[in-house]
Each structure stands twice: as structure tokens, then as C-alpha cells.
Amino acid sequence: MNPYHYKNNQLCIENLAIKQIEKTVKTPFYCYSQSTIHGAYQSYTSNLQQLDTMICYAVKANSNQAIIKTLADLGSGADVVSEGELRRALKAGVQAQKIVYSGVAKTSHEIQFALENEIFQFNVESENELDLLNQVACQLNKKAAIAFRINPDVDAHTHEKISTGKSENKFGIPISKARDIYRKAANLEGIIVQGVDVHIGSQLTDLAPFQMAFDRIKLLVLDLEKENISINVIDVGGGLGVNYENHENVSYGIEAYCQMLQKAFADMNCKIILEPGRSLVANSGLLISKVIYTKQGEDRDFLIIDAAMNDLIRPSMYDAYHDILPISNSNNQATYDIVGPVCETGDTFARNRTIPQMNEGDLLAIATVGAYGSVMASTYNTRLQIPEVLVKDQTSSIIKARTDYETLINQDSLASWQ
Ligand code: LLP
């Protein structure tokens, strides 16, 4: 679902003109459509009615409190990967019993914090982590409910930096070693074995790798049952792709994915946990920016805008494509390299992109940035972190204010000898 449309040639998000927001919030800023997030969540719930499911929003995709709360209010749980994310999820009102804790390097402090808060499940990624978890749980006189994250050795056919399910990746326990570690865990005092977990990567453009991973996981669960290790929870991770380009390059939608899940796990009598991130929030977001300069190069024209790679790193980090739209639409087309002010050639949002002609002072929107946008921002080049705005119908509300230079610079302190 698309959160934006043009009305009288003016770009709107929900029923609010972007120009209206820009009257009070200076560019660059992120804005998100609440109803688009609702729509995505409901696509999951309405297509999963034949399974006992729990949706645990992967908060790393966008961890603003208002976004987490938007989903928690619909009944969502959370998938977290750090103490910070766990604190955010709890503060936004996610019930602890709907929180799963993923990640390859949970520290004893983080484990203790999660045990004290009685989360639903730890997704354990190694034998050493299992030992530490058992030790901390015993010290606290608690039991940790766990799933093992299994690495099924499946190629997700996605960008190599976000592919996680191949044997060469750092994630999970090789499927060939799974039985041994389940046997060990079943005998540990501080551990309750309840589940299996798999997550093979992000932005998958095809359903086939999911299907292959789920088939392997299913076989493992059946094998474990033969050894009297009963599995009640299957966590299928996240990974659904979204269409970043206005032509469709992802071959399925949430509905088809859910149908596949229902088919795969209908006979398993398990709770199925989903950890979607991108597919819940990516489409909801626009990054609004202003053209500072137009510049004619030797063989191309540049639009230099006030947003930069520190605000949205996906194009420079993953060569990611994002649609770019003018706020005031016009028929004259022009071709540009659209770049930010940071002192790196990598600070490029689009190359050789044909869009309606733009002038200095004009506003534009970079689309599909609700996931892995603001959360990956930095203050590189001592640029301020930019605001985030949530939109509902005709109203908007600032959900993160722009930082100020004093706060940013005062985070440093001089060394004792200076
Ligand atoms: N569960 C686990 C264990 C994960 O590692 C991730 C994402 C998810 C769930 C959510 O996956 P999603 O549904 O969002 O695909 N920064 C990258 C994406 C990194 C994904 C990391 N893990 C990007 O901008 O494309």
C-alpha cells in the first residue's frame, strides 16, 4: 500500500499535503503514515487466521516509540536484538510475554535484564550463548525459555550484506549440529526448550528460499519429536521484500507469504512467531528534502539536496534504489544525479534519474524509507539528527525532534590533561 498521492499536483501523505508539514518542520525530515502501518499489520493478521500466530515486530526496522506503540496497540509483540531495543519495546507498551530476543552476541548483562523482565523467548545462536544463558538463569533462580536459531544453509538471493542463512554467515547453529545442541539444552537446569527459529535474510524477492528453509525446519522438528524433545514454537523470522521501484520486483505480497506459512505449518500444532520489520513499516515513510543547489557538471546535472547519506544510508551502503518524487508535480522532465552535501562521492541518492524538473528551493520526497532509514542515521559531518513526524489522516505530530548543536557537541569532553 502506498501512503502518498498527488492532489492538485501537490504530494500528500494520507490526507495531509507535505507542504503543510513543511511550514512548521524544517527539511530534511522523515514522515510516516500511520494507516499504512495499520494496513500492513492487518494484511498479516487477516491472512493468518488458520494458525496460532504471534507477530513480533522487528523493532530494528524503525524503533521510534510512536511506531512501536502504533503496532503494539494493534496487538503486536516485538523482536529485539539489544538491551536498548528491549527497553524501547517495554517503554512503548509491548507486553514482555510478546517479546523475543534475537542476536548473535547477547552479553550476560543483557541476558540478566531480559530474564528479570520475563520475556517470552531467547533465540539462542551458539552453544556458548546457551551456557551463559543457563548460568545467568540459574544464578537468578529463573528459567529461560529458548528457541535455537538454526542456520538452514539456504541462499536467500538477496544483497550479500543482508543475507544470513548460508553456512558461511555468522548466524545461528548449523542444521547438522542442531540435534546435539537440543539434546544438551534439554538437560540444563536453567533452560526450557520450547522452539526453533530461522531467519535467512532480508528483502527476499522470491518465496522459494523461505519455502526451502521452512521445509528443513519442519523436518528438524519432526526428528526432535522422535527424541522426545517437543517443540511448541516455530519462529520463522522476517525477511519479506517490499517494492522499492514503482515497477514490481518482489514476486509476492504479504498475503501469498501467509498462505505459504499456513500451508507449511498447518499440521504442526505449534505457535508460529513472525518477526517482520521492513514489510510492516517501509512503505509508510517518506524522507522530505529541499534542493539547495542545482549544478551543471561536465556531462550531467546535479541536484544537491539538504538530506545526506548520514540521514539515509541505504543507497550508499547497499546500492539501494528509492523512488524520488517532487512535492509539486510538473510535466517537464529532467535527468539528474541527486546527491547530498556530505564530502563523499558515496553520498548519492540516485544516478541518472529522470524526474520532473526541479529548481533550487523545491522540495522532494525519497520514498519507502520507513524501515532502516532513521534508525541507521548518524551525525557524520556533525550534521544534526533530523525530525520524524507521524501522520494520521489530516493531522501530524512530531515523534522525534531535531537535535541541537549544543547537545551534539557537548557529548564530547576534553581529556583530563587538556
Ligand atoms: N529477525 C531477525 C533475526 C533479523 O535479523 C531481521 C533483520 C528481522 C527479523 C527483520 O527482517 P525484515 O522483515 O525487516 O527483512 N539494514 C538493512 C536490513 C537489515 C536486516 C537485518 N535483520 C537494509 O536497510 O536493507
Residue 321 in any domain: the answer is: yes
123 Cα–ligand 1 center, Å: 15
291 Cα–ligand 1 center, Å: 31
CA dihedral of 260, 265, 271, 272, whole degrees rounded to 10: -30
- Tell me, yes or no, whether 130 and 241 share the same domain: yes
pLDDT at 370: 98
- Tell me, yes or no, whether 246 and 123 share the same domain: yes
- Tell me, yes or no, whether 185 and 204 share the same domain: yes
Over the stretch 7-24, which tens digit does the pLDDT of each residue have? 999 999 999 999 999 999
395 Cα–ligand 1 center, Å: 30
Task: State the CB neighbour count (10 A cutoff) for residue 36.
Answer: 23
- pLDDT value at 247 more than 70: no
Residues 6 or more apart whose Cβ sits within 8 Å of residue 416: none
CA distance 122 to 128: 14
Taking the CA atoms of 242, 248, 250 and 254 in sequence, report the sign of the dihedral they define: positive
pLDDT at 25: 98
- pLDDT value at 179 more than 90: yes
Ligand 1, closest atom to CA 204?
A: 15
- Tell me, yes or no, whether 155 and 197 share the same domain: yes
Contact yes or no for 120/98 (Cβ under 8 A): yes
- Tell me, yes or no, whether 190 and 140 share the same domain: yes
Contact yes or no for 360/13 (Cβ under 8 A): no
Over the stretch 27-46, which tens digit does the pLDDT of each residue have? 999 999 999 999 999 999 99
Instruction: Look up cell 507486553; give the residue.
Output: 95
- Tell me, yes or no, whether 220 and 290 share the same domain: no
Instruction: Look up cell 520532473; give the residue.
Output: 356
Q: Could you tell me the pLDDT band of residue 1, with boundaries at 50, 70 and 90?
A: low
Contact yes or no for 52/272 (Cβ under 8 A): yes
Strand partners, 114: none
Ligand 1 probe mutation, 63, 99, 149, 202, most atoms within 8 A of CB? 202
- Tell me, yes or no, whether 237 and 113 share the same domain: yes
Over the stretch 134-173, which tens digit does the pLDDT of each residue have? 999 999 999 999 999 999 988 888 888 877 777 778 888 9
Report if pTM > 0.85.
yes
C-alpha to C-alpha distances, 382 to 225, 341, 407, nearest whole angstrom: 56, 12, 12
In 3-state terms, what secondary structure has residue 76?
Answer: coil
Where in the sequence numbering do the catalytic residues fall?
A: 343
- Tell me, yes or no, whether 295 and 398 share the same domain: yes
Helices (H), 187-233: 208-226
Q: Write the DSSP symbol of residue 376.
A: G
Residue 78 in any domain: the answer is: no
- Tell me, yes or no, whether 292 and 255 share the same domain: no
Average pLDDT over residues 103-109: 95
R_g of the chain computed on alpha carbons: 23
183 Cα–ligand 1 center, Å: 30
Nearest to 283 by CA among 59, 70, 3: 3
- Tell me, yes or no, whether 137 and 260 share the same domain: yes
Over the stretch 350-408, which tens digit does the pLDDT of each residue have? 999 999 999 999 999 999 999 999 999 999 999 999 999 999 999 999 999 999 999 99
149: CATH: 3.20.20.10
* Count of domains forming the chain: 2
Helices (H), 266-386: 278-281, 314-318
Residue nearest to atom 23 of ligand 1 (CA): 372
pLDDT at 158: 82
Ligand 1 probe mutation, 55, 60, 311, most atoms within 8 A of CB? 60
- Tell me, yes or no, whether 184 and 267 share the same domain: yes
Average pLDDT over residues 110-128: 97
Pocket-forming residues, ligand 1, beta carbon under 6 Å: 58, 61, 79, 102, 162, 199, 202-203, 237-240, 275-279, 314, 318, 371-372
CA distance 220 to 268: 12
Contact yes or no for 340/349 (Cβ under 8 A): yes
213 grid coordinates: 528453509
Strand partners, 398: 389
- Tell me, yes or no, whether 229 and 143 share the same domain: yes
Can you give the residue range of the structural domain that contains 117? 103-274
